[in-house]
Amino acid sequence: MQKRKLGKSGLEVSALGLGCMGMSFGYGPAKDKREMIPVIRAAAERGVTFFDTAEAYGPFINEELVGEALAPFRGRVVIATKFGFKLDPNTGRQAGLDSRPEHIKQVAEGSLKRLGVDIIDLFYQHRVDPDVPIEDVAGAVRDLIREGKVKRFGLSEAGAKTIRRAHSVLPVTAVQSEYSLWTRGPEKEVLPTLEELGIGFVPYSPLGKGFLTGKMDENTSLDRSDFRKILPRFTPEAMKANRALVDLLGGIAERKKATPAQIALAWLLAQKPWIAPIPGTTKLARLEENIGAASVELTPDDLREIDSAASKITVQGARYPEHIEQMTGR
């Protein structure tokens, strides 16, 4: 597996990481831990060194899963986790945002225990909290770095102005936001800002929450606990309209003897050398397919063809319902 540096931070990770959220949260019932540990370990054995989790996934159980699975690889992998949600103590459900410095420090202590590590490699703010100045958030993480509990600071779904303000207090190693051929919002302001400041970029949902794999269509039935059921982009009408994007990927894939998912990931890798996508999966075969994307070479002509064709396709359906979208890009 090729390696990449996240901006000027010096943090080197595999070109493709593994997003672990879906193993415990978001896409239907949590999977059996005994089945997920071998998938995570297989990723590490195949050269993946970048693993993504969060306190809110489960909540809590995803960090425990990742910590247990990666115990044999300690010191050879980078584990990123996140703070910033208020979790209901009775149900564990997300109950708003909370990035108060005292809460950040509590979350760090819990994450260290659940992951079974002495230090958190990369600690992201999960969503920008409008009630807490980003300078205070950066200051709290700076304290944790001085205490030897955190190595590096990251932001998720932050806007360009917030990134600049945070970076002026504490260097931001990476920003994580949704980015793929059907979610290109970061290209306008975020990516130029990151390039200027020397910050790495970690696209989550690089396969469009599964849609860009070509394995979903308007007849796909989602479990009632699958959060895609509430996403406007996953209504049958939107999925039918958005198949045009999958057909585009499929045409290139056929020519390259690859799969649509591999073309979608290769396209992301070709955008900037400091981008490291984190596709998620619960299946070994999909893991191997995704890893294979790092070997797919897209020529400048291929990239021009993809961009030209994609520019003529209008993606149908909002990324999130309005109340969730309001928490992004601040």
- pTM of the model as a whole: 0.97
Tell me the pLDDT band of 92, cut-offs 50, 70 and 90: confident
Q: Which of 27, 57, 124, 204 is the catalytic position? A: 57
| Distance, CA of 131 to CA of 111 (rounded, Å) | 23
- Location of structure tokens 């493709």: 16
**pLDDT of 321 over the 90 cut:** yes
Give yes or no for a contact between 177 and 204, defined as CB atoms under 8 angstroms apart: yes
The two structure tokens encoding residue 218:
């308007």
> What are the pLDDT digits (tens) for 258-292?
999 999 999 999 999 999 999 999 999 999 999 99
Residue-range domain boundaries for the chain: 3-207+271-295
Tell me the pLDDT band of 244, cut-offs 50, 70 and 90: very high
| Distance, CA of 202 to CA of 9 (rounded, Å) | 14
> What are the pLDDT digits (tens) for 173-185?
999 999 999 999 9
Tell me the pLDDT band of 95, cut-offs 50, 70 and 90: confident
Give me the pLDDT at residue 323, please. Answer: 87
Give me the pLDDT at residue 147, please. Answer: 98
Q: What is the CA radius of gyration of the chain?
A: 19
- Active-site residue, 179 included: no
| Distance, CA of 73 to CA of 78 (rounded, Å) | 10
HEC string of the chain? CCEEECECCCCEEECCCEECHHHCCCECCCCCHHHHHHHHHHHHHCCCCEEECCCCCCCCHHHHHHHHHHHHHCCCCEEEEEECEEECCCCCCEEEECCCHHHHHHHHHHHHHHHCCCCEEEEEECCCCCCCCHHHHHHHHHHHHHCCCEEEEEEECCCHHHHHHHHHHCCEEEEEEECECCECHHHCCHHHHHHHHCEEEEEECCCHHHHHHCCCCCCCCCCCCEHHHHCHHHCHHHHHHHHHHHHHHHHHHHHHCCCHHHHHHHHHHHHCCCECCCCECCCHHHHHHHHHHHHCCCCHHHHHHHHHHHHCCCCCCCCCCHHHHCCCCC
Give yes or no for a contact between 131 and 115, defined as CB atoms under 8 angstroms apart: no
| Distance, CA of 16 to CA of 20 (rounded, Å) | 13
Class for the domain spanning 3-207+271-295: alpha beta
Residues with Cβ within 8 Å of 36's Cβ and at least 6 positions away in sequence, in order, are: 20, 23, 24, 65, 69, 282
**pLDDT of 15 over the 80 cut:** yes
